[in-house]
A and B are shown apart, each in its own frame.
Chain A
Amino acid sequence: MRYLPLTDADRASMLDVIGASSIDDLFIDVPAEARLSGPVAGLPLHASEMAVERKLKAMAAKNLVAGESPFFLGAGAYRHHIPATVDHIIQRGEFLTAYTPYQPEIAQGTLQALFEFQTQVARLFGCDVANASMYDGSTACWEAIGMARRVTRRKKAIVSGGLHPHYVSLCKTMAKFTGDTLETALPDLTDGAPGDDLDRLIAAIDGETSCVVVQNPNILGHVADLSELAAACHAKGALLVVVVTEPVSLGLIKSPGEMGADIVVGEGQSIGVGLNFGGPYVGLFACAEKYVRQMPGRLCGETVDASGKRGFVLTLSTREQHIRREKATSNICTNAGLCAMAFTVHMSLLGEAGLRKLAELNHANAVAAADRLAKVPGVEVVNGAFFNEFTLRLSKEARPVVHTLAAQGVLGGVSLGRLYPGAEGLANGLVVAVTETATAEDVERLASALEEALV
């Protein structure tokens, strides 16, 4: 095949068709301050490869790297140790370059891996069935709201203030085009149970409610029993959607399915997938079997071949876009294959006992860190119950404090001012995540840096 590059005239005529005046017009949705307005400062237009490399390395060295500093950032993306085995296995050509497994006769390896992924997700979430993954946690969350609409034929979703604000934002964007109504709220820093609004949610459910969406542990780290909420949903014919952004927590916490959730979605990044500058991640999606026809996404099933041997195929494909087009359950007609593979490999290495042990280690580290940080003058731990993440109320606005800490080489947490710009009651909140990667020395450094910053 010949490579025929576009001419300026080709570009102009394509832009003309879509009514854009320049290529830059296609990027207007990216905020101006996030776009590069000209050449990279200090980089000449022509230089040797070595010179460019030297310059870029110097620029990169200005970053504070997650793995090289005390790291307490969470709020939806968590730093965990990933065994080297994970990368080794997912980089095998059979997995790395595999195409969509539409032909089961040549894709048994990929299909079996997906089937095992689904099995792991379903068991983790306490649900009957899971799909072969979505793009990430936030898209999975939106897909759950859409699915609840199809199941209940109602269009009002009640969203907990404890749901990650980026998830809320994505859902609001999508709802603009589907006509769903989202009832959202900001979380509050209530002592003992920050972001817990179960009473509000239960009171708000009515005959028009398609679903209630609640995150557990929530954005402020609070862990709740959702059984009563599930019963309240079901009494009014609504579904309970539970979002899990830290799946490692399920090594210790009762699964959402056991608490009565109808749809459970989440972010799988914590298991096997690195922080990766924010993506690609892997969305997890599971539900009760009776709703499987309305579940979005690809689904792999176990079957037997012509000679009775166990095999795997994509199944219930009529839910998908490549068969039913505009009537598909979702416009997502793919899955995050490689990240799902990484999740599966890591989970297989952990096993049930390993996952429990990892969760215990996370929780123990977080409890020790919370105890230590509570001793810092000007710091209060807001949470009563938490897993590996909790919220601090500082005596000062948290956002500048985070910058002060970073200047000392400590990534101390995510400020609520960053997550909820302009929300006054939240400005002093700092969300701190403590995983198995945080050492006692790391915690000590955070505590002393915080003490200094709060004087």
Chain B
Amino acid sequence: MTIFFTEEHEWIAVEGSTATVGITDYAQSQLGDVVFVEVPPAGTAVEKGKEAAVVESVKAASDVYAPVSGQVIEGNAALEGDPALVNTSPEADGWFFKLTLSDPSELDGLMDDAAYKAFVDSL
């Protein structure tokens, strides 16, 4: 499994032709207490850089963008009843959706762990 990051603070964990997407620990710390998450239903076609989900905290409502293009396999149903999972476990239980990649080469432009750390430090 390889994990990549975007400048919009999404992470994407890739395993073969499928991947899991969520928002980073830095993103959740900036948002504050998450009170609502809307994830795309299975079957939704998402496009790299376009809105795929919505996250709402006590401070702000934000869009979550698809790091790569693909088709959604599953939205994280657990977030409906417990959106705070995004705060307590942003990079594990608080995942947003899983998808099949339509073009793995889109991963090329994304950051790895070290690059993302440097990016966050520069903010």
List the interface of chain A (C-beta within 8 A of B). 153, 293, 318, 323-324, 327
Contact = CB atoms under 8 A, between A and B. Distances in A.
B38 A324 contact: no
A347 B38 CA distance: 37
Contacts of A153: 41
A207 B6 CA distance: 37
Nearest to B41: A153
A440 B109 CA distance: 82
A4 to B, nearest CB: 39
Contacts of B92: none
A323 B36 contact: no
Interface in B32-54: 36, 38, 41
Given A293-B36, A318-B56, A323 B41 contact: no
B61 A323 contact: yes
A327 B56 CA distance: 13
Interface residues of B, number: 6
Q: Which of B38, B56, B63 has the most CB of A within 10 A?
A: B56
A125 B7 CA distance: 47
**B interface SS class:** strand
9 contacts: A153-B41, A293-B36, A293-B38, A318-B36, A318-B56, A318-B61, A323-B61, A324-B61, A327-B63
Contacts of A318: 36, 56, 61
Contacts of A293: 36, 38
Given A318-B56, A324-B61, A327-B63, 6 more contacts: A153-B41, A293-B36, A293-B38, A318-B36, A318-B61, A323-B61
Contacts of A327: 63
**A interface SS class:** helix
A318 B35 CA distance: 11
B20 to A, nearest CB: 23
Contacts of A324: 61
Q: Which 9 A-B pairs have the closest CB atoms?
A: A318-B61, A318-B56, A324-B61, A323-B61, A293-B36, A293-B38, A153-B41, A327-B63, A318-B36
A281 B26 CA distance: 48
Q: Which of A153, A318, A324, A327 has the most CB of B within 10 A?
A: A318
B42 to A, nearest CB: 12
A214 B107 CA distance: 50
B57 to A, nearest CB: 10
B121 to A, nearest CB: 30
A60 to B, nearest CB: 51
A448 B34 CA distance: 68
Interface in B43-99: 56, 61, 63
A321 to B, nearest CB: 12
A272 to B, nearest CB: 34
Contacts of B36: 293, 318
A318 B38 CA distance: 13
Contacts of B61: 318, 323-324
A392 B41 CA distance: 50
B55 to A, nearest CB: 10
A367 to B, nearest CB: 49
A273 to B, nearest CB: 34
Contacts of B38: 293
Nearest to A318: B61
